[in-house]
Structure formats: C-alpha cells, structure tokens
Chain A
Amino acid sequence: MRRKVLNTVVVLSVLLTSAPAFAQVELGGTYAIRMYEDYIERGPGSFLGDFTGMPMSDEGRAKALRYSSSLPSMIERQCLAQSPWVGLYRPLAIRIWSEVDASGRVVAWVMAGDYLRDTVRIWMDGRPHPSPNAWHSPSGFTTGQWEGDTLVAHTTHVKTAWIRRGVGIPGSDQSTFTVFITRRENLLTIMTIQEDPIYLTEPHVVSRVWEFDPRASQGPLRDTCNVGVEIPSLEDTGEVAHYLPGQNPEENYMVRTYNIPKDAAMGYAHTLYPEYRKTLRSVYKPPDSCGRYCCGWIERQGLPGAAPGLTCNDGNLPPALRKTLTSSER
C-alpha cells in the first residue's frame, strides 16, 4: 500500500509541477476569401506593366517585361503560375486540415484551395529540409513549428513561378518563404516573406486575411495546373510568346494611365517606403477619373452594386443581374 501511495505522489508531482505543453491552435476548416486588398490583382488580374509595390532586381524586371498574356497558354509554361503560396494572390477560399499519427499527434498541416497548385504540406514532425540538390516541386518543401498562437512555416525547394498573377513578375527556384499563420477568433492572417537572390532585391512581404466559414467555396475543382491550350495558333508552332527587350507595348501603361513615375511602376524597392512620397509630390497628379475596376469588390461579391449615375456603374455586370442585385435588400 505504501508503494501505491508513493507512486501516486510521484505521478501527481509530475502532473502538477511540469510545464504545460503548448496547445496548438486548431487551424482546420475552410476560410472565405476577403479581397479587400489588391482586388484587381487577385480578381481580374493585374494590369500589364504594373509592378508597383515590388522590390524587383534588374533581372526580374527584364524577365517580367518579356511577359505576354499568351505565355500561360503554352503547355510547357502553364504551370509557371503554380507557386506554393500563390493563394495570397488569388481569389479563392482555402481549406486546412491536419494529418495525425497513430497517437493523434499532428504530423502535418495541409493547405489546399487553389487549382493552380498542389496542396502545401507543412511538416510538424521535426524532419529536416532535403539536400539543396534535391528535387524541387511546385509546392516546395515546408516545415513548421508553433510560436505561441502562430504557426511559423519555412518553404524551400520550389520551382520557378510567377509571384503575382497575370503580369509575369518572376520568382526563381532559389526562392524561400517564411510564413506566419495566425488564427484569431474567426480571422486567419497569413503573412509571407519571400526571399529570392535572383529576381528580388529585398524580401517581398505580403499579409492577407481570410474569415472562417464552413460554407466557403473554393470554386470548381480542377486539375492542378490546367494544361488546356487556350490559343490554338500557338499549339505545336514552337513559338514562345514574348516581347523583345524594349518592345513591350505596356511598359508605360501605368505611367500614361495613372500618372505615376516609371520607377514606381517598374518595381524598384525604394518606391515601397514613405520617403518616396517626396519624389511623388512633385510629379504626381491624380487622374481625372477612375477608369477601370473602380468598385470591383462590390460587384464580384454579389452584393448590391452602385446607385445609378455613380462611377461604379462601369459595366462589369450584365444589366439584368445588376438590376436584380441593386433591387434586392440584403
């Protein structure tokens, strides 16, 4: 009996005095997109020649300016949009689930939600990253650990892929990503810091918000990296859609449309910081009118659009649908 008591005391001592294990936050579920940032980039797609907010190297800029909208139609280049963290630049919901071992311990968190890429698997079991010479995949190789309520992930072994959608800004296969994933109440915040010694001059930082929603739609299911030829004239011709250096007709699109200096449009790092406004102050004049995509969020989300006569009536919706939306009470 005395031994029993002793054992009990020992067990209780361990239970009561040991430091508590860190509880992981439950990330599992579906999260609806909230495109309240960079709507044009994530919705209809960036304007050609719009590299604003990017810290690009000369090599990156030169490569981006060779981009043509016909390039993704080539079978061998259709997967260039497939980056592990492309979801931050896209208009779709995301879904997260855990993979557990026999004891119930989380071995990996898996993130899906965009047909342009495979799932991202964040290994939580302490395994090391592969050799630098190991195979690079469209999803890369990602490990993670909890720091408080934030899951911190590190991605390596990616393939060359465009950073933003529809505009050709390149990220090389030497890119690495540090990612901070925080779920707080119903909001999920993901911040990515992409470093690329080839095409970026400093880390490229993006932070986005999703909202937990069990009914969030991820859109139609499609194969990863759609390979349908969209421009038949390119098929089997051997031609690579591109612009030669200095011949991209959209190189000055942002300058002539929005009156911004060319170094801002062309993604120089110094244009990302407040002190650049000293330069802007003397040269920038707001456009007389908005032009395209003035109120895209409202119409794309299916919520009531604008009242008659307002700028938002820019024709993004069929008239019948517009009438239905604006007359309904929500």
Chain B
Amino acid sequence: MKSTLFLTILLMTAAVGAQSRATQAPVSTARADAPIDLVGQWVAIISEDWRWRMITPAKGDIVSIPLNVQGQQVAEAWDPARDEAAGEQCRAYGAPGLMRGPIRMRISWQDDNTLKLETDYGVQTRLLRFGAATSPGPRSWQGFTSAQWIVRGGGRGAPRFGSLKTITNNLRPGYLRKNGVPYSDRATFTEHWDVHSLPNGDKYLVNTNVVDDPVYLQAPFQTAIHYKFERDTSKWDATPCDARF
C-alpha cells in the first residue's frame, strides 16, 4: 500500500510539473513575458518640485539633493555658455535627469527583447535591453540600460502581476537638475516601473528610482516620479536640448 501511495504522489507531481512546463514553454521573449504594458505615450505630471523641474532654478539652488561638498562646488561652477560652447547642451537630458524633467515619453518595442523609450523633451532615445548583456558601447547621455521583468503569480490560472526593474550605467557625466547639479560617469541609475490602473480607465506609471554616485553624492538620491497615460498623442512636441531653459 505504501508503494501505491508513493507511486500516486510521484505520478501527480510529474503531471503537475509537466503542466507547469507546458504553460511556461511558449514564454521565450521579453515582449511575450511582459507582466505589465508600458507601451504608449506617457506625460509627466509636474505636481512635485515644480520650481525645480518645470523651469531652470537659480545657480546654487541644490535643495533636496544630497550632494557632497565636491558636488556643491561643481554646481556652483555651472556655466551654460560653457556647456553650449563644448557641445554639451544635453547634460541635463541624461537618463537620471531626464526622467524627472517635463517630458512626454513614448515607449514601444524595438524588437522582442528591447523596449525603446523616446522623449520629446531633448529628443532623447533610451533602449531598455532584456536578456544577455551586450557590449555597452561608448558612454552616452542615456547610458546602457539592462532590464528585467519582476513577475508575480501567473501559475495555474492565478492572476499575473509584475513590474520592471532597470539598471543604467555607462553614462556620460550630466546634471540631475537643469542648473548644473552634477552626476558623474560613475553614477548608477536604478529604476522600478509600476503601472497602476483606476476603475475609470486612467493609467499611471510610477518610476521609483535611485541614483548612486560615489563622486558627487553623499547618499543615494531616491525619488518617485509619476506619469499619466495619454490616449491623445497630439501634444507631443519634440524640442532639442537647451542648456539654459
């Protein structure tokens, strides 16, 4: 009798395992595995830090940002004319500064394992790459972003939820704020992306992010930024980088 029981358990475990593998088998690309839908146009709602995000604050206004002394000295030396002359007018449009800017962004699948994020503000493009690492290439304003779905549930008919985690490095030195608050080329930008829906159909994207920079920050710079999904895409307004406004 014991052997019968053992055999029954063995068979059932195998059957459930096979079922589990069967349901997982088709999932082979990031696009197919996506637990949330980020595709579409999103607009930043500037309901927080308006005076530091919507406009360029005065030089030396570094309130809220945990700069170390070296970072403060760099911020105090901000000179937009110098950036323009050096062809560096996009310094405030690197990924860590851009996401907190007054942006509209369009997210789409470039291929089955790459999400493309485009912004009208500064006309920037960032690629969120799933899967095995590829060569990061030269440093850039948007850096190199590796992406990973965090999936919850979904087994045997249960609801499937999740979020996106991205880590960006290989950045050119840039600004966290338009008035020259710096981050260095050693900065790492970690983001958690969540989509929340309301019963009325409104959708919000929340980007919880951390900037770690051993050069200019004395503590990780942690914020949450929210965007609203736009069905009407007519307000997209591509404007090039501007070092002053």
- Do A and B pair up? The answer is yes
**Docked CA distance A295–B9 (Å):** 65
Is B66 located at the chain interface by the 8 A CB criterion?
yes
User: Taking A20-B156, A277-B54 as contacts, is the C-beta distance between A205 and B47 under 8 angstroms?
Assistant: yes
Shortest C-beta distance, B17 to chain A (Å), equals 10
Give the contacting residue for A20; candidates B158, B202, B223, B225; CB below 8 A: B158
Shortest C-beta distance, B7 to chain A (Å), equals 11
Give the contacting residue for A284; candidates B9, B60, B245; CB below 8 A: B245
**Residues of A12-26 contacting chain B, CB below 8 A:** 12-13, 16-20, 22
Is A80 located at the chain interface by the 8 A CB criterion?
no
Is B173 located at the chain interface by the 8 A CB criterion?
no
* Contacts between the two chains (Cβ within 8 Å), count: 228
Size class of the B contact interface (CB-based, 8 Å): 35 or more
Contact at A264–B50, with CB atoms within 8 Å?
Answer: yes
Give the contacting residue for B64; candidates A55, A182, A297; CB below 8 A: A297
> How many residues of A are counted as interface, with CB atoms below 8 angstroms from the partner's CB atoms?
79
**Residues of B89-148 contacting chain A, CB below 8 A:** 102-104, 120-121
Is B152 located at the chain interface by the 8 A CB criterion?
yes
Contact at A16–B56, with CB atoms within 8 Å?
Answer: no
Is B185 located at the chain interface by the 8 A CB criterion?
no
Contact at A209–B224, with CB atoms within 8 Å?
Answer: yes
A residues contacting B by CB (< 8 A) are 1, 5, 8-9, 12-13, 16-20, 22, 34-40, 52-55, 147-150, 152, 178, 180, 182, 184, 187, 189, 191, 193, 203-209, 211, 258, 260, 264, 271-278, 280-281, 284, 286-291, 293-298, 301, 303-304, 306-307, 310-312, 330
11 residue pairs from A and B, CB less than 8 Å apart:
A17-B16, A22-B159, A53-B50, A148-B153, A274-B43, A274-B235, A290-B58, A293-B63, A301-B66, A304-B69, A312-B62
What would 15 more interface pairs be, CB under 8 Å, given A5-B1, A272-B47?
Answer: A16-B12, A53-B50, A148-B153, A150-B194, A189-B224, A191-B206, A193-B198, A209-B224, A274-B43, A274-B104, A274-B235, A275-B235, A286-B58, A287-B57, A312-B60
